[in-house]
């Protein structure tokens, strides 16, 4: 069996990888979270890699509380940068292919067309700065690292925008959602499938930065309306401006990412966000009744 180490496996992407692991009998998955492997401890990481010698490492671990990061900078950088560097260093020493998950928050959102992988980065908040530092440290420690930037991740697992909208849609008759921040939702299940397509494909040794989200673009308002509609919730969604909903962390107004590079490099087909949202909500409904 080809061993694949998955860090942060209790999160959204890690759980989706658990769901599809059975489709890959030639691969042995090592699903870990902080209780099994503390990736902030460089010695522990090296010991783990030496013991299990993974062929691939998918780093799903991250500090993702965007607003909280503004007052918790040390922990954000520890998990998003230092820990990523520990994995990259170990991956380099043990010839492991590291796939590191990053974010659209590395951009300032001031462009008017989708961001390319080599566009100028200029994060607006601590979370984005810590993730950008993680990218830089990964590529410094191990230039063979493959970095996947994604955006607006959601799934049936954990806390995310879709589940929050469903909860609010049941509790309230009207909510306000920001319409002047535009991006693309990403169904974690689609990202998990894309990662496995990369690992099992002909070009699994490819390195560098790639963008992955679902196809299409929308605002948070559009996304919320779609959630309410597909969930059969009679909650009116009112469009509001960013200035009407101040948050500790600044956010960009346009962070759509161009995905031409990943599609051409790996032959990946990416579903539209509306199609994937429908599938996710169907899964959530199924899980509630079974």
For the residues of 4-62, what is the DSSP string, one character each? EEEESTTSHHHHHHHHHGGG-TTEEEEE--TTT--TT-HHHHHHHHHHH--SEEEE---
How high is the pLDDT of residue 205? 87
How high is the pLDDT of residue 204? 81
How high is the pLDDT of residue 161? 96
Q: Report phi then psi at 69, rounded to 5.
A: -60, -25
Please list, in sequence order, all residues whose beta carbon lies within 8 angstroms of the beta carbon of residue 168, skipping any fewer than 6 positions away.
175, 235
Q: Cα–Cα distance between 71 and 197 in angstroms, integer?
A: 38
Could you list the pLDDT tens digit for every one of the 290 residues in the chain? 999 999 999 999 999 999 999 999 999 999 999 999 999 999 999 999 999 999 999 999 999 999 999 999 999 999 999 999 999 999 999 999 999 999 999 999 999 899 999 999 999 999 999 999 999 999 999 999 999 999 999 999 999 999 999 999 999 999 999 999 999 999 999 999 999 999 999 888 899 999 999 999 999 999 999 999 999 999 999 999 999 989 999 999 999 999 999 999 999 999 999 999 999 999 998 777 76
Q: Give the pairing of strands 186-187 and 153-154.
A: parallel
Token pair in block for residue 236: 């009116």
Radius of gyration of the chain (CA): 19
Q: Cα–Cα distance between 95 and 279 in angstroms, integer?
A: 37
Active site residues: 127
How high is the pLDDT of residue 38? 96
Q: Cα–Cα distance between 123 and 152 in angstroms, integer?
A: 16
Please list, in sequence order, all residues whose beta carbon lies within 8 angstroms of the beta carbon of residue 167, skipping any fewer than 6 positions away.
none
How high is the pLDDT of residue 290? 67
């Amino acid at each position: 069996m080809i061993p694949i180490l998955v860090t942060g496996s209790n999160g959204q992407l890690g759980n989706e990888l658990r769901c599809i692991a059975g489709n890959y009998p030639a691969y042995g998955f090592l699903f870990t979270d902080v209780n099994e492997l503390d990736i902030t401890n460089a010695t522990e990481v090296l010991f783990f890699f030496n013991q299990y010698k993974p062929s691939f490492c998918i780093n799903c671990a991250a500090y993702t509380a965007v607003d909280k990061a503004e007052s918790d900078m040390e922990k954000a950088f520890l998990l998003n940068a230092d820990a990523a560097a520990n994995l990259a260093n170990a991956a380099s020493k043990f010839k492991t292919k590291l796939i590191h998950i990053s974010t659209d928050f590395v951009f300032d959102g001031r462009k008017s067309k989708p961001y390319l992988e080599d566009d100028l980065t200029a994060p607006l908040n601590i979370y984005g700065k810590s993730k950008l530092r993680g990218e830089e440290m990964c590529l410094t420690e191990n230039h063979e690292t493959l970095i996947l930037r994604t955006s607006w991740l959601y799934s049936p697992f954990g806390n995310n925008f879709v589940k929050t909208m469903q909860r609010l849609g049941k509790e309230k008759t009207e909510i306000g959602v920001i319409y002047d921040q535009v991006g693309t939702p990403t169904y974690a299940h689609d990202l998990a499938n894309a990662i496995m397509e990369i690992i099992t494909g002909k070009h699994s040794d490819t390195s560098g930065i790639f963008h992955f989200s679902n196809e299409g673009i929308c605002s948070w308002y559009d996304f919320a309306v779609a959630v309410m509609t597909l969930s059969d919730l009679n909650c009116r969604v009112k469009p509001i401006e960013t200035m009407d909903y101040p948050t500790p962390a600044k956010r960009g107004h346009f962070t759509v990412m161009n995905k031409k590079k990943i599609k051409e490099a790996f032959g990946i087909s990416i579903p539209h966000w509306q199609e994937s949202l429908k599938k996710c909500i169907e899964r959530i409904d199924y899980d509630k009744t079974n």
